[in-house]
Amino acid sequence: MQQHTLDPENWDALQGLGHRMLDDMFDHLRTVRERPVWQPVPDNVKANFESGPPAKPIPAERAYEEFKQNVLPYTQGSIHPRFWGWVIGSGTPFGMLAELLTAGLNTNSTFGDTAATRLELQVLDWFKELFGFPRDASGLLVSGASEANLVALAVARHAKSPANVKRNGVQGLRHRLRVYGSSETHSSVIKSLELLGLGSRSFVATPTNPDFTVDVETLRRRVIADRVAGECPICVVGNAGTVNTGAMDDLEALADLCGELGLWFHVDGAFGGLAVLAPKLKPLVAGLERSDSVAFDLHKWLHIPYAVGAVLVRDAAQHHATFASSASYLGRLPGGITDGPISFNEYGPELSRGFRGLRAWLTIKEQGFEKLALLIEQNVDQARYLAMLVEQTPELQLLAPVSLNIVCFRFVAPDLDAAELDALNTDILVRLQESGSSVPSHTRIGDRFAIRVCVTNHRSRLEDFDLLAREVTALGRERLAALQSVPAA
Ligand SMILES: Cc1ncc(COP(=O)(O)O)c(C=O)c1O
């Protein structure tokens, strides 16, 4: 019988290709500043993604050439110094190497007496210490803050429901479960509540103060009123850095409120939670260490390659009880490979799990937390610098206070109405992106379209923000001149 394998026939040839791929990627990273941040995928390249399933092989060399032609030039651009869209980390060259090692090992990091489980526990222990969580808290590395929020809210639901939801579902509940947070809370929290069977209507969006932080007194009154009306409040979500503006809720006040009213206190600290690392910024997240659970990302402000986030849960027993199952084939035996320190699959929805910890462990060791914190502080200073440029330019208007690393602003002209200003700023942003010069993203602040610059980028320099302010002003003037030259109908 002929025996097949997926290993190469010629190991030396593939190894040679591997060296070339690595050299190419190093060059790509080293020269990233010289290229456009982003460019659209041309039609002839799009066509390459429409062919059917390949039944027959092509040489690895050719597959790699296809990657170089069709993929490499048309990615998101998140590694570029002027990428400031959404909340996206830049990765690091050593992180890229860590990915290579991870894929080489192809470990399913779910349980067992392996270095992978111990390494992942160590990474979680580092964060417990840095976040001021007790050593016996539990945690899990996940795909990102969305999954981290889902896991934390599942534990909150399990711990605070008046009946056994894990067994009976939410259908059997007599009272509607309620979760509270500001109207600026991230959509992944609402999505989690939908997935957990609570429905999006279970989220009570509380109004914010003018700085976009939650109005704690209004939230308190709402919880009390809901209780009186027979609803069942279970949890408050505090924001350590809202996605729109980076606003930091008063976590001390929320911790007090949750303690007083017996609610689960979850903090969505996707990026802002990492302020705990930076001595200058740590006071902003005071109270985080009192939360019952916290979600944060490693792929955003720590620049670990995608995708890795984490959740910490103060009460490990509740965390375990939420996700534990009793499948015989997953049980642990005394001795042998299954006899490891933890079964991560009993702390979250995934059974098979990538070895996410390795790229975190290696990158953090290579850089050290002090340097990572320095870069976080540098980004906050850069955001303040951009805000200053905006304020110094009469045609630019800041749309929200800069609490952390996010600047929302727009081009303004006295004769334009609200809709015209929105259209003009949309046009500026699209032209900026299409020129390849920079990639901010957008949002709405109140009823205004905002150009949104989120600085989670260790490659950005001050001159990049000078260029941005100049270009937005120039594009705005150009578009305005074009509008004014059109005769009125
Ligand atoms: C405040 C906040 N929470 C949650 C998330 C979701 O994180 P992820 O995209 O890693 O799932 C984000 C993403 O930007 C965020 O800004």
Give the model's pLDDT for residue 473. 98
The reply to whether ligand 1 has any atom less than 6 angstroms from the CB of 161 is: no
Atom of ligand 1 nearest to the CA of 297: 10
**Which of 146, 184, 242 for a ligand 1 pocket mutation test, highest count of atoms within 8 Å of Cβ?**
146
Give the model's pLDDT for residue 462. 98
Strands 264-268 and 293-297, how do they pair?
Answer: parallel
- Beta-carbon-side half-sphere exposure of residue 80 (alpha carbons within 13 Å): 23
The reply to whether ligand 1 has any atom less than 6 angstroms from the CB of 87 is: yes
Identify the residue whose tokens are 């056994």. Answer: 164
Cβ count within 10 A of residue 10 = 9
**Which of 142, 300, 404, 455 for a ligand 1 pocket mutation test, highest count of atoms within 8 Å of Cβ?**
300
Tell me the three-class secondary structure of 202-261, residue by residue: HEEEECECCCCCECHHHHHHHHHHHHHCCCEEEEEEEEECCCCCCCECCHHHHHHHHHHH
Q: How far is it, in rounded angstroms, from Cα 251 to Cα 284?
A: 9
Residues 6+ apart with CB under 8 A from 139: 124, 127, 128, 310, 311, 312, 313, 347
Q: How far is it, in rounded angstroms, from Cα 282 to Cα 280?
A: 6
Burial 425-453 (b: 16+ CB within 10 A, else e): bebbbeebbeebbbbbbbbebeebbbbbb
Q: How far is it, in rounded angstroms, from Cα 281 to Cα 68?
A: 41
The reply to whether ligand 1 has any atom less than 6 angstroms from the CB of 188 is: yes
Q: How far is it, in rounded angstroms, from Cα 217 to Cα 257?
A: 9
pTM of the entire structure? 0.97
The reply to whether ligand 1 has any atom less than 6 angstroms from the CB of 450 is: no
Q: How far is it, in rounded angstroms, from Cα 148 to Cα 311?
A: 5
Cα(141) to ligand 1 centroid in Å equals: 15
Q: pLDDT tens track of the chain, all 489 residues?
A: 999 999 999 999 999 999 999 999 999 999 999 999 999 999 999 999 999 999 999 999 999 999 999 999 999 999 999 999 999 999 999 999 999 999 999 999 999 999 999 999 999 999 999 999 999 999 999 999 999 999 999 999 999 999 999 999 998 888 999 999 999 999 999 999 999 999 999 999 999 999 999 999 999 999 999 999 999 999 999 999 999 999 999 999 999 999 999 999 999 999 999 999 999 999 999 999 999 999 999 999 999 999 999 999 999 999 999 999 989 999 999 999 999 999 999 999 999 999 999 999 999 999 999 999 999 999 999 999 999 999 999 999 999 999 999 999 999 999 999 999 999 999 999 999 999 999 999 999 999 999 999 999 999 999 999 999 999 999 999 999 998 887 655
Q: How far is it, in rounded angstroms, from Cα 475 to Cα 211?
A: 29
Q: Are 29 and 21 in contact (CB under 8 A)?
A: no
Q: In 132-186, which residue ranges form alpha helices assigned H by DSSP?
A: 145-160, 165-168
**Beta partners for 237?**
266
